[in-house]
């Protein structure tokens, strides 16, 4: 059985996510004076049209690219020793500690509590028509899956092949991809909940929604 208290205690013990900001390409780094302890924000606006806090500039062949914070959080470290130096793509430049939002906590707990059926290869995934229709009409928790059930169509390089579900019997609780999205190998496609665990998981979600305080 799912241990609600244990799951919540685990998240509360480490309610952060460390985000490493790296150089997107080669170039000369120029930092903008941020230091550990400073607060930053990610993209904002109705359409996320406003960039996050400027962290550094990266210049290559007289072209300067702004490197901004991907999420809201607190600056943990800045590689100031790289100021004015040429760096390679992927070089770590700064670390941000992001306090988990209520939604992120729920997703973290669900990914531990549910059985995750993962993509076997990088491709586009579609539910078979009868499942797709049921999901649209009645919602995620209306679809029951079982071992060997033909569940999806895998589309890759102009070929389409059926994909059968593998895992414990249960209902689809979460869907992690959108129609037509390219999904990387190993990424979750759906989260499946055994029917006898549905009430327990719903209690977990309700408890997080009522107890989790966002910064």
DSSP 69-103: -SSSEEEEEE-GGGTT-EE-TT-EEEEEEEEPPHH
- For the chain, the average pLDDT equals 91
The more confident residue out of 175 and 49 is 175
Residue that has been written with the tokens 């992001």 in this structure: 98
Over range 27-34, report the average pLDDT: 95
Instruction: Please return the burial class of 159, using the count of CB atoms within 10 Å of its CB with bins 0-12, 13-18 and 19+.
Output: exposed
Q: Each residue of 159-209: pLDDT tens digit?
A: 999 999 999 999 999 999 988 889 999 999 999 999 988 888 888 888 888
Q: What are phi and psi of 35, to 5 degrees?
A: -140, 165
Over range 56-70, report the average pLDDT: 95
The more confident residue out of 180 and 1 is 180
pLDDT of residue 201: 86
pLDDT of residue 200: 84
pLDDT of residue 215: 61
How far apart are alpha carbons 112 and 114 in whole angstroms?
6
């Amino acid at each position: 059985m799912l241990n609600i208290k244990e799951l919540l205690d685990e998240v509360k013990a480490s309610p952060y996510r460390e985000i490493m900001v790296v150089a997107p390409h080669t170039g000369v780094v120029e930092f903008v004076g941020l230091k550990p302890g400073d607060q930053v924000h990610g993209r904002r606006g109705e359409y996320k049209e406003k960039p996050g806090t400027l962290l550094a500039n990266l210049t290559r062949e007289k072209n300067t690219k702004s490197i901004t914070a991907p999420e809201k959080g607190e600056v943990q470290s800045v590689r100031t020793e790289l100021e004015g130096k040429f760096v390679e793509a992927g070089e770590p430049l700064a670390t941000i500690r992001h306090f988990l939002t209520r939604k992120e906590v729920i997703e973290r707990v669900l990914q531990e509590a549910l059985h995750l059926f993962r993509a076997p290869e990088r491709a586009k995934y579609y539910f078979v028509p009868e499942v797709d229709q049921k999901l649209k009409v009645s919602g995620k928790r209306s679809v029951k899956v079982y071992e060997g059930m033909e569940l999806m169509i895998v589309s890759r390089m102009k070929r389409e092949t059926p994909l059968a579900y593998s895992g414990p019997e249960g209902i689809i609780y979460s869907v992690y991809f959108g129609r037509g999205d390219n999904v990387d190998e190993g990424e979750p496609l759906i989260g499946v909940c055994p029917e006898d665990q549905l009430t327990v998981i719903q209690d977990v979600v309700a408890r997080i929604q009522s107890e989790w305080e966002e910064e």
